[in-house]
């Protein structure tokens, strides 16, 4: 028996949580000046846009790379969500 497909809201929330989780696994929350995760899921198409702003002297991670990785984490989390629903 397969489960129902996830709702659009569940997809968006899953993607957003995964992206934010990755950002804050790389940076302390107190270091992040600003971050924005925008997720849309319409007609089966997932769009994830991630912006991260940290001080220039926070050299442990490249903010652009973290943003890209966060978007990928969001996509992977949604893929897993759909796999679980059967």
Tens digit of each residue's pLDDT (9 = 90 or more) over 36-72: 999 999 999 999 999 999 998 766 789 999 999 999 9
pLDDT at residue number 19: 98
State whether residue 81 is helix, strand or coil: helix
| Residue extents of the structural domains in the chain | 8-85
Instruction: Name the percent of the chain in helix, strand, coil, to the closest 5.
Output: 50, 20, 30
The pLDDT assigned to 2 comes to: 56
Taken in order 8, 78, 22, 66, is the CA torsion positive or negative?
negative
Of 1-5, 33-37, 55-59, the one with minimum mean pLDDT is 1-5
* Assigned superfamily of 8-85: MTH677-like (3.30.300.100)
- List, for residues 62-80, the tens digit of each pLDDT value: 999 999 999 999 999 999 9
């Amino acid at each position: 028996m397969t489960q129902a497909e996830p709702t659009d809201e569940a997809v968006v929330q899953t993607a957003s949580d995964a992206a934010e989780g990755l950002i804050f696994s790389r940076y302390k929350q107190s270091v992040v000046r600003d971050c924005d995760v925008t997720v849309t899921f319409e007609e089966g198409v997932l769009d994830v846009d991630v912006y991260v702003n940290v001080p220039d002297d926070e050299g442990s991670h490249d903010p652009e790379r973290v943003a890209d990785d966060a978007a990928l984490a969001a996509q992977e989390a949604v893929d897993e969500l759909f796999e679980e629903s059967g």
